[in-house]
Structures are given as C-alpha cells and as structure tokens.
A = this chain, B = another copy of it.
Amino acid sequence: MARTRLTPERESELYAAVLDLLGEVGYDALTMDAVAARARSSKATLYRQWGSKPELVVKALRHNKPVSLAEIDTGSLRGDFHAALSRTDDCQMEKNSALMRGLSHAVHNNPDLLQALRELLIEPEVTGLDTLLRRAVDRGELRPDQPALKYVPHMLVGAFAARQLVEDRAVDQAFLADYVDSVMLPALGV
C-alpha cells in the first residue's frame, strides 16, 4: 500500500490533537476513533501512518521536543544543561508533567506503550545526554571514571518526579536550574 505523505503542518495538527485528548481522557480511554474525529482525519489514515496507538502517542510526545539534546553545544557542561532546560518553557513543562503522570500508570499495563516510550523518547534523550557528557569528558571538564556519570538520567528523573510528590509543586525552569547547580554538577565533580 502506498504510504501517503502528510505535510509537516498536518502532522503537527494531528499530534496536537493526540496530546490534547491524552491530557483530557488519559491513555487507556484514548481511542483512534476519538483522535480521528478531533483531528478531522480517518482511522485508516492514522493506522497507515503510525501503525498503532502506542506509536502514535509516543511520536506525538516526541514531537513536543523540537531540539535534540545532542545539538546543544555551548562549550561547558553547565551551559549545556541550562540550555537544555530553556528548550521548554514553564507552561509546556507543566503540560508535559501532567502527560507523564497520566502515562506512568498506563505504561505498566501496556508493554507496547512502555517499549515505544523507551525507544522513541527515553533512549534518544539518554543518547543525547551521553553526547553532552562525552564532550565534557573530551574537554577535560569531567572525569571519565566519575561514578555519578551513569546516573545522570536518574538524577534528572528524580527532579521531575519528586517535586510533585515531596513539595506538591509543579516542576519549573528555576527549580530545575537550581537542582542542576546544587545536585548534578557537584555529584559529577564539575
């Protein structure tokens, strides 16, 4: 079957419809029918283009992140981390947190969703982080045998997850910037 090309604008519209619905009804209640209706598309188009609901949802989430981490290169690890935070404004960060909360439960009942999330969203971010960290090692800013090196993703995820749970407040840029300076750079010996 010929794979019809969607224009980038049309693709963005479809992804926006998916994310809106996801925020409204959650992953489990999200149907391809509802996405088709919201985006004024057809279910056949959605399946032809994305194959499955988990893949469509994760591609829509990834579409939210315009700049790849690996493209950030300010000349210092601290600069790179802070530039990475400024990719996403506070309003978008709150929306992303709400989405991730809604997904965190669904993930454990939907192995397909977890796999798509890992392949399309988590692994590219981890690979991007690795690129930033490797550059810092090459510049001599960071020791290659630093024990905290393998835990950078864990430190970041902790900042996101714990703010809500411990402080009952949404993650924002100011909090993450202070966490980078107070926890991540000292743990990395930078």
CA distance A168 to B179 in the complex (A): 25
CB-nearest residue of chain B relative to A157? B162
- Shortest C-beta distance, A159 to chain B (Å), equals 6
Chain A positions 100 through 119: 1 when the CB is less than 8 Å from some CB of chain B, otherwise 0: 01101100100000100010
A contact residues, total (Cβ < 8 Å): 35
CA distance A187 to B190 in the complex (A): 10
Partner of A154, one of B108, B126, B166, B187: B166
CB-nearest residue of chain B relative to A125? B166
Q: Which residues of B contact A101 (CB under 8 A)?
A: 104-105, 108
CA distance A169 to B184 in the complex (A): 23
| A47 CB-CB contact with B under 8 Å | no
Chain A: interface secondary structure?
A: helix
CA distance A183 to B182 in the complex (A): 12
CB pair A153–B147 under 8 Å, yes or no, is no
Q: Which residues of B contact A126 (CB under 8 A)?
A: 166
Chain A positions 152 through 163: 1 when the CB is less than 8 Å from some CB of chain B, otherwise 0: 011111110111
CA distance A189 to B185 in the complex (A): 12
CB pair B163–A154 under 8 Å, yes or no, is yes
Q: Which residues of B contact A183 (CB under 8 A)?
A: 147-148, 151, 154-155, 187
Q: Which residues of B contact A147 (CB under 8 A)?
A: 178, 181-183, 186
The 6 A-B residue pairs with the shortest CB-CB distance in the complex, in nearest-first order: A158-B158, A105-B105, A147-B182, A157-B162, A154-B162, A187-B187
Q: List 10 A-B contacts (CB under 8 A).
A: A104-B104, A105-B105, A126-B166, A147-B183, A148-B186, A151-B179, A151-B183, A157-B161, A158-B158, A158-B161
